[in-house]
Amino acid sequence: MSLAEHRLCVKHVHANWIKRFPGKAFKDMMWEAVRAPNVQYFEPVMDVIKKASVEAFEALEKIDRKKWTKSAFRPGSNWDELVNNSVEAFNKVILKARTKPIIIMLNIIHQKVMKRLRKQLAVARKWKGDISPKAAKIIRDRENMIVQYITVYNGHSRYGVSKANHAWVVDV
């Protein structure tokens, strides 16, 4: 039995939802619900959406939460990507190859992958350091944000984490 979970590409869910509920406010609320890491964050966001529009709230409630919000993903899930951009990009690249016999198709895909890896390696060699400039910026931003959190060791690989009026227990 497969442990794979079927999920929806949230980019497509959003595209359909925003047709009925346009505007930056609805977009931001939906993405906040999508990215909510747990039910404690998710429910208040959904309450805000409900106050803004009961119809918008009900439209999201009709979609199985396990398929579109991180808060409902299976604990220990190995993949929490919310959009299928990488899969869609890969499928676009191999579209012509998919019409060929299997061996030829695999050779074409292999060549395309190797060509892309060479290009990426050439770009990476220009970096100042071991990680990409984009990753370095994310790390710097997170370092600035993390100083707002207080952690206390609770024993047995558990930590209490607090920030302003919020507190969590984290089991690492």
Between CA 30 and CA 17 the distance in angstroms is 9
| 126 vs 137: CA distance, rounded Å | 16
CA 133 vs. chain centroid, Å, equals: 20
Least confident span in 13-17, 68-72, 80-84, 107-111 = 80-84
Place of tokens 């600035």: 144
- Amino acid residing at 59: A
pLDDT of residue 2: 64
pTM value? 0.59
Residue pLDDT, tens place only, 130-155: 899 999 999 998 888 888 888 999 88
| 50-94 residue pLDDT tens | 999 999 999 999 999 988 888 888 877 666 677 767 778 888 888
Instruction: Tell me the three state secondary structure of residue 56.
Output: helix
* Mean pLDDT, range 112-135, rounded to an integer: 93
Contact 163, 148 (CB under 8 A): yes
